[in-house]
Amino acid sequence: MIETRSIEVVPDEERHGTPVSQFTLWFGATTQITAVVDGALAVVFGADPIWAIVGLLIGNLLGGAVMALHSAQGPLLGLPQMISSRAQFGVLGAAIPLLLVIVMYLGFAATGTVLSGQAINQIVGVSAPWVGIVIFGLLTLLIALLGYKVIHRMGRIATVLGILGFGFLTVQILRSVDLGGLIGSAQFAWPPFLLSVALGAGWQLTFGPYVADYSRYLPRTTKPRTTFTYTLLGSVIGSQWSMTLGALVATLPARDGKSFLADQVGFLGSVAGPGLAAIAIYLVIVSGKLTVNSLNAYGGFMCALTTVAGFTGTAAISRRARTVYIAAFIAVSVIIALAASADFLDNFKNFVLVLLMVFTPWSAINLIDFYLISKEKVDVDALYDPDGRYGRWNVRALACYGVGVVVQIPFLAQKLYTGPITELLGGADISWMVGLVITGLLYYLLARPRTVREDA
C-alpha cells in the first residue's frame, strides 16, 4: 500500500488500473466546497446567477480539455507531469515554472485546510480554529505518504460520498431557490460573464501541472483518448455541479444571522438541516477536501523533488527523504492556514486569477511541444541529464513563457491592478485566453526540432 516510486519512470511491470480511475479521482476531488466557493464568487462579484452557471460551464469545458490533454501524457510517459517540462524548458530551466507550481499547491492546500478545519470543528464541537486545521493536516499527511494507490482509493470514497452529500444539498437548495424567478429575471453582462468563464477555466487549468502524476501508473497501452475522456468527464462534471450549487447558494438569504460570505462551511451545514444532516455534510466536505489536499501535498512533493533533482542529478530518493519532503510541505500549508486572512473570498478570487496568468503559458508550451512538435515522443533518459539532449536551459521556451505572462498584463482585471485594455472592454478579463493563444503560436513558430540542444 505504501508507494516507493517518486520522479523516476514507472516500469511497465508495475503499471496497473483502468482509465475509469481517472473519473472517480477527479470527480471526487472536484465535488468539494472550494469549487462551491469558486462558483459563488461569480455571483458575488456581479454575474447574474443563471449566466454565471453558463459561463462557469464554458470555462470548465475549455480549461478541462487542456487539463485532460496533460492527463493523457501520463500513461505514455510513466512520469510525473512537471518532470516532463524539462523537455521544453531544459533540465534546470524547468525549475522556474516548478517554483510557481509549488506556490500554487501551497495556496490551494492552505485554503482547503482552512475550510476543512472549520468542518472538523463543527463535527467535534470545538471552537478553536487551530484544532480542525491541525487534525486535517495530519490526515492529509497520512494519505499523501501512502501515495498513489491510496489517493485513488480516497477518490473513490469521495465520489460516493460526494454523490450522496451533494445530491442531498442539491435538493435542499432547489427547495430554497426560486429557480423560475432567476431564469425569468436573468440579465446578461459581458464583464461578469467573462469573469465566470475565467473562474471555471482557472479552476481546471490549475490541475494541469500535476494531473499526469495520477495517470502515470496506467498501462502504456492505454489509449490517450480514453484517458482524456475519463479525466475530462470526472473533472468537469464534479466541478460544474459544485460551482452550480455555489452560484445558487450565493443567492440565498442569511441563515441564523450568517451569510455564505461570512461562513461558507457553516452556511452549507445550515442548508442541509439540523443535527445529523449537517454533520453528514461536514463529513462530505472533509472527504472531498482530503482527496484534493492529498493531491496538492503529493504533487507539491513531486515538484519540490523535481526542482532539487535538476541541480543534484537525483532520480530516486529514500522513503525517509520522501517523508521529509511531504511533511515539510504540509507543515508550511498548515502554518499558512493558521495565519489566513478573514477576507477569504476576495483573496481566493485574486489567487485563482493570478494562477491563471502564470499557468496558461506553461500549459500552451507543454501541450504544443508534446503533441505538435515532439509528436508524443520524449527522450526520457535525457530528462535526467543536464548535459543531454534537452540541455540545462531552453532559452526559447523560457522567453515564450515570459512573453506569455507579460502579454496578459494589459488584459488583467485584478483587485490591485486593472489593465488598460480591460477598462476598454468594460472590465472583462480575457487575459488567460490571450496568454494561451499567443504563447502557443509563438512557441510553435520558434521551437526547434528536439535534436537541437539549447543551453544558456
H or E element that contains 22? helix 20-30
Q: Which of 47-61, 126-140, 246-260 has the lowest mean pLDDT?
A: 246-260
Q: Report the b/e string of 287-317 with b at 16+ CB within 10 A.
A: bbbbbbbbbbbbbbbbbbbbbebbeeebbeb
Alpha-carbon dihedral sign for residues 161, 211, 323, 16: positive
Q: Do 157 and 287 contact (CB within 8 A), yes or no?
A: yes
The domains of the chain, with CATH numbers, are 12-347 (1.10.4160.10)
pTM: 0.92
Q: Do 189 and 48 contact (CB within 8 A), yes or no?
A: yes
What DSSP state is assigned to residue 7? S
Average pLDDT over residues 112-123: 93
Q: 3-state DSSP: the chain helix, strand, coil percent, rounded to 5?
A: 70, 0, 25
Q: Do 26 and 238 contact (CB within 8 A), yes or no?
A: yes
Grid coordinates of 144: 499523501
pLDDT band (50, 70, 90) for residue 449? low
Angle at 165 between CA 164 and CA 168, to 5 degrees: 85
What DSSP state is assigned to residue 177? S
Identify which of 162-166, 205-209, 387-391 has the greatest average pLDDT. 162-166
Query: Does pLDDT of 431 surpass 90?
Result: no
Angle at 25 between CA 81 and CA 77, to 5 degrees: 30
Average pLDDT over residues 404-411: 92
Query: Does pLDDT of 345 surpass 60?
Result: no
Could you give the CA distance from residue 278 to residue 269 in angstroms, rounded to a whole number?
A: 4
Q: Which residues pair with 255 in a beta bridge?
A: 258
Could you give the CA distance from residue 114 to residue 135 in angstroms, rounded to a whole number?
A: 11
CB atoms within 10 A of CB 410: 15
**pLDDT value at position 349?**
60
Task: Write the DSSP string, 319-362.
Answer: HHHHHHHHHHHHHHHHHHHHT--S-HHHHHHHHHHHHHHHHHHH
Query: Does pLDDT of 344 surpass 70?
Result: no
**pLDDT value at position 318?**
83
Write the CA distances from 119 to 127, 164, 180, 265, integer angstroms: 11, 17, 32, 6
